[in-house]
Amino acid sequence: MRVQVSLFGAFRSFDPGAQVLLDLPDGARVADLRQALEQYGSTHWQDFNPALLRRSAFASETTVLREADVLPADGRMAVLPPVSGG
């Protein structure tokens, strides 16, 4: 499946469109996406910070997902670095 990962906060600057397309096996889980994004970041992003990704969560448009959750069928995901609203 093709997963479209929207980038926010400190990740946003890594890509002009603030998103990354990754190919993952059907039925992939959040943990798989995390691994794929780490690999992608390590090879494509000059200032990529793996420690920040490890503190980041993944979410659909409606909810934050856990590591064992299967990715939604539409493949639309977001990576959420630690939040600092308010």
- Taking the complex as a whole, the smallest distance from the CB of residue 22 to another protein amounts, in Å, to 18
Cα–Cα separations (whole angstroms), residue 78 to 5, 8, 15, 64: 5, 8, 14, 9
Report if residue 82 touches another protein, rule: CB under 8 A. Answer: yes
**Residues 9-38: x where in contact with another protein by CB under 8 A, - otherwise, as a string:** xx-x--------------------------
Binding residues with another protein: total (CB under 8 A):
22
Query: What secondary structure letter does DSSP report for 70?
Result: B
**Cβ neighbours for 8, distance < 8 A, ≥ 6 positions apart:** 18, 78, 79, 80, 81
> Residue 24 or 80: which CB sits closer to another protein?
80
Report if residue 46 touches another protein, rule: CB under 8 A. Answer: no
